[in-house]
Amino acid sequence: MSTKTRVVVGMSGGVDSSVAAYLLQRQGYEVIGVTLKVWSDSCLSRSHEKCCGPQSIVDARLVAHQLGIPHFVLDEAEAFEEEVISPFVRGYQHGRTPNPCVLCNEKMKFDRLPRKAKAWGAEYVATGHYARIEHIEEGALLKRAKDERKDQTYFLFRLGRKTLDGMLTPLGDYTKEEVRELARKAGLSVWDKEESQGICFVPGNEYGAFLAERIGEGKDKVGQIVDLSGRPIGQHRGIEFYTVGQRRGLPGGQGKPLYVLAIDPAQRRIVVGPWEALYQTHCFLNETNWQQQPPTTPLPVTVKVRYNYPASLARLTVLSDRRARLDFESPQPGVAPGQAAVCYVDDLLLGGGWIEPSTGEDRAEVTP
Residues 6+ apart with CB under 8 A from 69: 21, 25, 31, 32, 33
Half-sphere exposure of 269 (CA within 13 A, CB side): 13
104 is catalytic: yes
Alpha carbon of residue 220 to chain centroid: 31
- Which of the following is catalytic: 43, 200, 283, 343? 200
Beta carbons of 37 and 61 less than 8 angstroms apart:
no
Buried/exposed code over 229-243 (b: 16+ C-beta within 10 A; e: otherwise):
eeeeebebebbbbbb
Cα–Cα distance for residue pair 84/100, rounded to 1 Å: 6
Catalytic residue among 43, 104, 283, 343: 104
Question: Smallest Cα–Cα separation from 280: which of 224, 352, 363?
Answer: 363
Q: How many whole angstroms separate alpha carbon 274 and alpha carbon 253? A: 13
Going from the C-alpha of 74 to that of each of 16, 34, 38, 108, the distances in angstroms are 20, 7, 9, 11
Instruction: List the one residue out of 296, 351, 293 whose CA is nearest residue 320.
Output: 296
Classify strands 259-264 and 167-168 as parallel, antiparallel or unpaired: unpaired
CB 236 within 8 A of CB 222: yes
Active-site residues, by number, are 104, 200
